[in-house]
């Protein structure tokens, strides 16, 4: 029983089963030989918690058994116990083998799973590598495309920059050429300006020299005129000569002396006298010389006649009344002839007294109107009055600006607005309701501003667009008929702006400044600068055309009862008075032509043969007088007047003015 002590304690059942599982499986054919686990691997398949010295294997068991079996002296009981022990050991060994088989089987499956997992991982890695390679390839391709696109864009940008650079270079070269060209032109202009300046200086010296000569000539003319004036002094008048002849000569000499004195004063203030003024003065002097010479001859003849008369009376004291009457008739004939000759040779230099009285009455009416709205005109500090003033002024002036020849209905709307405003009815202007009764002085203010606006429209709109005179005149004529106050103030404004519409030539007065005298003549003076002659004539032309249109038109929707408030009779008076005045260079020809073009047809139909006598007088007598006072450079207006009069006389007809409002117009 010693061997028993040599054997280590038996393993637990579970551990024994796992220890012998491999052998049992191999022994009983549970596993194929290829899957049998070698004996050297069994020691590695034990439970992890088992220790190496406790493992009992089949290899150690036979070596331990022969010693007790080989002893013959053991008894039967010992053999039985040994057999039982061996049997239990064998059974324990088989269980361990089965357990080892299971463990091996599980390990094999685990190895296979690991193998399959490894293969799957390899496949996935290959797929990842393939995807990565494909992605890398695509990324590389994308980078190549992007690089190519960036390269193309860079090339395009470079081409654009090169093109822009070339274009800028061309522009710079072009600008350089233009600059050089301008520099050349500027140099030429500078040289020309310098040459012009030198020529101008020479001309100024020449003009100054000529002006000095003209000034000396004016002084000599003035001295001679004073001497002539002394010759026809009222104290030296002969009692047998008609007093009217000497009065006309004296007045004419006084006017010429005043004109020459004005030219001399103007020359002393502004420079040298105008050649035209000197020429006109010389011409007037020649006329005065002729008139004085004729008058002296008449005086001598009268004195000689008187002497002969006295001698004859002494010789024929016994002759009867018939002889004395015949002698008186013979004595009076030279005086009558001299009067007729004077009337043919000279015209008036002043407007008739009745016309001037009418002129001053209109100016007084305008001043009274201004004084009547002094409160609303000087409403400083009073916001409400200023607001009323602004609204009334807009209500009066805006409709006048809307007058046009578009249609008759549009003109009627404008007329109704103005008429309603003057009648005290409310009117709309710029979204506000306005009426003249808002202020006690509102009506006077509106009448004044309305008349002023009509005159400004004449000197502005009509001067540029001649046809616009007729619609303006039609509206103003209708307003004038219903509201005579507006017409009177309109005439006052017109006469002040254009004294030739009276007609009236303002005379120079002592103490009157040159600027004030220019304003009296109708010129606009701003900052001591007088407007140019062309602009002045254009304004005067516009106002005369408006006046000529007014005197022949009536508002078609009026009552038609009564005479025109300022009809053709005033136009006939204006024309007759104009032809009785000494003509002025440029002004007379321009205004006569404008008046005849606009109003000639109406005057022809109204006055018939008398009008044609006037036209013949203009052609035969008045145009030569205008030509005598007109310089060679100012013949344009006179030529147009002569052509117009000549054509009218040849055709025996005055054409209708352009822009006249026909009956069909009022139906639009």
pLDDT digit string, tens, across residues 365-414: 888 888 888 777 776 657 888 888 888 888 888 888 888 888 888 889 98
Residue for token pair 């007379």: 588
Rounded to 5 degrees, what angle do the CA atoms 372, 373, 376 make?
Answer: 155
pLDDT recorded at residue 343: 38
Token code pair at residue 78? 């010992």
In whole angstroms, give the CA distance from residue 642 to residue 91: 165
CA 442 to the chain's CA centroid: 34
Residue 581 sits at φ, ψ, to 5 deg, of -100, 150
> Which of the given ranges, 271-280, 313-322, 534-543, has the highest pLDDT on average?
534-543
- Quote the CA–CA distance of 292 and 248 in Å, as a whole number: 11
**H helices of 402-524, where?**
408-422, 442-457, 463-464, 469-482, 484-497, 514-520
* Pairwise CA distance, residues 578 & 626, whole Å: 12
CA-wise closest residue to 631 among 214, 260, 275:
275
How far is 255 from 538, CA to CA, in rounded Å?
28
CATH number of 353-667: 1.25.40.510
- Nearest in space to 665 (alpha carbons), one of 586, 567, 561, 553: 553
Cβ contact 107:42 at 8 Å: no
Tens digit of pLDDT for each residue in 555-587?
Answer: 888 776 678 888 898 999 999 888 888 888 888
Among 228, 222, 235, which Cα is nearest to 292's? 228
The residue among 23 and 204 whose pLDDT is bigger is: 204
Whole-number Cα distances in Å, 407 to 138, 166, 457, 665, 666: 81, 61, 19, 6, 7
> Vertex 24, ends 21 and 30: CA angle to 5°?
100
First to last CA, the chain: 158
pLDDT tens-digit profile of 184-230? 998 888 888 888 888 888 888 887 777 777 777 777 776 676 666 66
Q: Please, which residues have CB within 8 angstroms of residue 339's CB and are 6 or more apart in sequence?
A: 242, 244, 245
Q: Does residue 25 contact residue 96 with C-beta atoms inside 8 Å?
A: no
Instruction: Look over the chain and give the mean of its residue pLDDT values, rounded to a whole number.
Output: 76
Q: Which residue has the higher pLDDT, 263 or 438?
A: 438
Q: Note the pLDDT tens digit of each residue in 600-629.
A: 999 999 888 889 999 999 989 899 998 888
Cα gap 99→352, rounded to integer Å:
162
Task: Report the C-alpha dihedral over residues 490, 496, 499, 501, rounded to 10 degrees.
Answer: -10
631: which residues sit within 8 A by CB, 6+ positions away? Answer: 275, 276, 279, 585
CA distance 614 to 574: 12
Bridge partner residues of 351 (DSSP): none
Query: What stretches of 498-586 show up as alpha helix (H) in DSSP?
Result: 514-520, 533-550, 568-580
pLDDT at 93 over 60: yes
Q: Which alpha helices (H) appear in 275-430, and where do they start and end?
A: 275-315, 321-345, 353-372, 374-377, 383-401, 408-422
pLDDT at 303 over 90: no
C-alpha distance from residue 468 to each of 472, 501, 622 (Å): 7, 19, 30
Share of the chain above pLDDT 90, in %: 10
Range scoring the smallest mean pLDDT among 341-350, 397-406, 537-546, 569-578: 341-350
Q: What is the pLDDT of residue 246?
A: 55
| Cα pseudo-dihedral 313, 316, 317, 323, rounded to 10 | -80
Which contiguous run of DSSP H or E holds residue 530? strand 529-530
Could you tell me if 89 and 61 are in contact, meaning their C-beta atoms sit under 8 angstroms apart?
yes
234 or 187, which is more confident?
Answer: 187
Closest CA to 594 of 634, 647, 644: 644
41 or 250: which leads in pLDDT: 250
Is the omega angle on the peptide bond into residue 357 within 30 degrees of 0, that is, cis? no
**Closest to 492 in 3D by CA, of 369, 332, 331, 330:** 369
Identify the helix (H) or strand (E) that includes residue 526.
strand 525-526
Nearest to 598 by CA among 540, 534, 655: 655
Predicted pLDDT at 593? 92
**Rounded Cα distance, 404 and 411, in Å:** 7
Q: What angle do CA 150, 153, 158 make, to 5 degrees?
A: 125
3-state secondary structure of 511: coil
Residue 278 CA to chain centroid, in angstroms? 45
Quick one: average pLDDT of 90-108?
84
Residues facing residue 581 across a β-bridge: 348
* Backbone phi and psi for residue 320, each to the nearest 5 degrees, phi listed first: -80, -175
Q: Residue 313 — very low, low, confident or very high, per pLDDT cuts 50/70/90? A: low
At 46, phi and psi to the nearest 5?
-70, 165
**Strand 427-429 and strand 432-434: pairing?**
antiparallel
DSSP character for 178? H
Mean pLDDT of 292-308: 72
Give the pLDDT band of residue 264 (cuts 50, 70, 90). low
| Mean pLDDT score, 159-164 | 90
pLDDT digits (tens, 9 = 90+) for 266-289: 665 666 666 776 777 777 777 777
Token reading at 195? 């040459």
Strand partners, 433: 428
Place of tokens 């667009």: 465
Assigned token pair, 592: 């006569």
97 φ/ψ angles, rounded to the nearest 5 degrees: -65, -45
CA–CA distance, 265 with 257 (Å, rounded to integer): 12
Instruction: Name the residue among 401, 541, 422, 418 with its Cα closest to residue 472.
Output: 401
- What are the Cα distances from residue 14, in Å, to 2, 107, 169, 438, 550? 27, 18, 103, 131, 146
Domain assignments of the chain as residue spans, ordered by start: 1-163, 232-345, 353-667
Q: In the structure, what pLDDT confidence band is assigned to residue 644 with cuts at 50, 70 and 90? A: very high
């Amino acid at each position: 029983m010693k061997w028993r002590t040599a054997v280590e304690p038996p393993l637990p059942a579970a551990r024994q089963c796992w220890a012998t599982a491999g052998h049992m499986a191999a022994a009983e054919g549970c596993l194929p030989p290829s899957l049998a686990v070698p004996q050297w691997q069994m020691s590695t398949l034990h439970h992890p918690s088992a220790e190496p010295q406790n493992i009992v294997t089949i290899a150690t068991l036979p070596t331990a058994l022969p010693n007790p079996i080989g002893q013959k002296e053991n008894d039967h009981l010992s053999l039985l116990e040994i057999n039982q022990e061996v049997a239990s050991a064998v059974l324990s060994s088989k269980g361990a083998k089965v357990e080892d088989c299971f463990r091996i089987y599980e390990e094999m499956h685990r190895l296979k799973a690991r193998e399959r997992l490894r293969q799957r991982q390899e496949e996935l890695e290959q797929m990842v590598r393939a995807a990565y390679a494909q992605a890398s390839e695509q990324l590389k391709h994308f980078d190549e495309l992007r690089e190519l696109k960036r390269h193309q864009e860079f090339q395009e940008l470079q081409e654009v920059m090169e093109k822009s650079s070339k274009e800028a270079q061309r522009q710079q070269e072009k600008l350089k050429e233009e600059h050089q060209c301008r520099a050349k032109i500027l140099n030429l202009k500078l040289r020309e300006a310098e040459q012009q300046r030198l020529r101008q200086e020479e001309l100024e010296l020449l003009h100054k020299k000529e002006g000095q000569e003209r000034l000396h000539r004016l002084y000599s003319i003035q001295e001679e005129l004073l001497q002539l004036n002394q010759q026809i002094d009222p104290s030296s008048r002969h009692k047998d000569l008609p007093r009217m002849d000497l009065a006309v000569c004296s007045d004419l000499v006084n006017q010429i002396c005043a004109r020459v004195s004005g030219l001399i004063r103007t020359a002393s203030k502004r420079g040298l006298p105008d050649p035209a003024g000197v020429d006109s003065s010389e011409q007037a002097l020649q006329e005065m010389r002729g008139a004085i010479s004729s008058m002296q001859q008449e005086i001598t003849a009268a004195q000689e006649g008187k002497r002969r008369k006295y001698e004859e009376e002494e010789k024929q004291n016994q002759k009867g009344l018939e002889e004395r009457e015949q002698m008186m008739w013979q004595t009076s004939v030279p005086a009558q002839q001299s009067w007729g000759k004077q009337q043919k040779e000279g015209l008036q230099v002043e407007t008739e007294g009745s016309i001037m009285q009418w002129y001053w009455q209109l100016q007084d009416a305008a001043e009274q109107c201004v004084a009547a709205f002094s409160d609303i005109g000087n409403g400083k500090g009073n916001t409400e009055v200023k607001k009323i003033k602004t609204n009334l002024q807009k209500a009066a002036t805006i409709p006048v600006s809307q007058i046009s020849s578009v249609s008759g209905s549009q003109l009627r709307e404008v007329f109704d607005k103005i008429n309603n405003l003057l009648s005290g009815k409310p009117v709309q202007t710029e979204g506000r309701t306005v009426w003249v009764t808002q202020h006690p002085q509102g009506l006077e203010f509106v009448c004044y501003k309305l008349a002023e606006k009509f005159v400004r429209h004449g000197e502005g709109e009509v001067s540029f667009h001649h046809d616009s005179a007729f619609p303006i005149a039609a509206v103003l004529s209708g307003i004038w008929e219903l509201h005579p106050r507006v017409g009177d103030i309109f005439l006052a404004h017109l006469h002040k702006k254009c004294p030739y519409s009276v007609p009236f030539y303002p005379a120079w007065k002592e103490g009157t400044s040159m600027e004030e005298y220019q304003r009296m003549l109708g010129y606009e003076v701003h900052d001591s600068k007088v407007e140019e002659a062309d602009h002045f004539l254009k304004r005067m032309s516009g106002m005369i055309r408006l006046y000529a249109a007014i005197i022949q038109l009536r508002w078609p929707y009026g009552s038609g009862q009564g005479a025109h408030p300022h009809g053709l009779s005033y136009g006939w008076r204006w024309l007759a008075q104009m032809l009785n005045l000494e003509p002025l260079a440029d002004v007379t020809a321009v205004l006569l032509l404008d008046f005849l073009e606009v109003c000639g047809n109406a005057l022809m139909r109204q006055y018939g043969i008398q009008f044609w006598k006037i036209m013949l007088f203009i052609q035969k007598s008045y145009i030569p007088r205008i030509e005598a006072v007109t310089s060679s450079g100012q013949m344009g207006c006179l030529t147009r007047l002569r052509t117009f009069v000549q054509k009218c006389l040849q055709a025996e007809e005055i054409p209708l003015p352009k822009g006249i409002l026909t009956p069909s117009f009022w139906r639009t």
